[in-house]
Amino acid sequence: MKITPQRARWISRIGAPVVRAVGTTWRIRVFGHQVDFSRADMVFAFLHGDMLVPAVLYRDIPAAILISKHGDGELIAQVLQRLGRHRAVRGSSSRGGARAVLELVRDQVHLPWGITPDGPRGPRGHVHEGAIQLAAESKRPLIAAGYAVSRGKRLSSWDRFVIPYPFARIAAWVDEPLLVPENVGSEQRRVLAAELKDRLNLAHERATRALRDW
C-alpha cells in the first residue's frame, strides 16, 4: 500500500497513541556517555531500524529529526511528531538533502538534531558521508547510539526495523562524541564515515552486552 500524506496522517493518529502506551511499559536503561540534551550543539546518530526506541525514550526532549522523503518517511515523520516534542525535517543524502541541511542550520539551530546515517535506503549500518558533512558544516559533534531489545519484532525490511514488545527490557549505549573538522576533505569524510560506522556497531555490541548482564 502506498503511503500518501493523507494515509500517513490517519495511520499516525492511531499508531502514535499505541506506541506511546506500549512505550510506557518498556524498561530502558542508558549506559555509556551521559548526554546533556539542554545543550543544542550535537548530532545524535542511530540506525534507521532502531529509531522507534530513541523516539520514545527522548519523546519529551525538543529535537529536530532528519527524516527522508522516501517511501514511509511521511508516516515516520507524522508518528514522531505526534509522539512528543520532536520536529521532523524532511530530506536525505539522496533527495532534498541540501534543503534539509539549510533548514537545520538556519531554523533549528536551537535544538539538538537526530539522524539515521544509514537511511533512507541502506544498506543497514552503512554510514553515508552526508552525515559527516552535516556535522562539519554545523560544527557539531556526532554522538553514536546503539540499542538492544530483550523481546520484539524485527521486520523483514532493509533496515530490520525493530518493534519492542510490551514490557521489553531495552539497553541503550551512548558513545563519546566524535569531533568532525569544519573544513573536512573527501578522503577525511570517508575515514570519518567508517569511524562512525564502527562506533555504531560498537554501541550495538555494548548495548547487547549490557542487556545480557542486566
What pLDDT was estimated at residue 1? 55
**Cβ(100)–Cβ(90) under 8 Å?**
yes
Residue 47 CA to residue 154 CA, distance in Å, equals 13
Q: Quote the DSSP letter at residue 50.
A: G
Residue 99 CA to residue 103 CA, distance in Å, equals 6
On the CB side of 6, CA atoms within 13 Å amount to 0
Handedness of CA 19, 145, 33, 137 (dihedral sign): negative
CA angle 33, 211, 112 (to 5 degrees): 35
- What are the two backbone dihedrals, phi and then psi, of residue 77, each rounded to the nearest 5 degrees? -60, -45
Nearest in space to 207 (alpha carbons), one of 119, 199, 35, 24 = 199
Q: Is the pLDDT of residue 94 over 60?
A: no
What pLDDT was estimated at residue 80? 87
Measured N-to-C along each axis, helices 5-23 and 73-83 cross at an angle, to the nearest 10 degrees, of 40
What is the band of 70 on the pLDDT scale with cuts at 50, 70, 90?
low
Q: Is the pLDDT of residue 71 over 60?
A: no
Q: Is the pLDDT of residue 82 over 60?
A: yes
Diameter over CA atoms, the chain: 46
What is the band of 96 on the pLDDT scale with cuts at 50, 70, 90?
very low
The torsion of the CA quartet 146, 150, 152, 158, rounded to 10 degrees, works out to 30
What pLDDT was estimated at residue 97? 54
Q: Is the pLDDT of residue 24 over 60?
A: yes
Q: Per the confidence metrics, is the pTM higher than 0.75?
A: yes
Q: Is the pLDDT of residue 30 over 90?
A: yes
% residues pLDDT > 90 (the chain):
68
**Cβ(43)–Cβ(143) under 8 Å?**
yes
Nearest in space to 28 (alpha carbons), one of 181, 168, 131 = 168
What is the band of 2 on the pLDDT scale with cuts at 50, 70, 90?
low
As a whole number, mean pLDDT of residues 48-62 equals 94
What is the band of 45 on the pLDDT scale with cuts at 50, 70, 90?
very high
Give the range among 7-11, 45-49, 77-81 with minimum mean pLDDT. 7-11
Q: Is the pLDDT of residue 98 over 70?
A: no
Q: Which amino acid is at 144?
A: A
Q: Is the pLDDT of residue 51 over 50?
A: yes
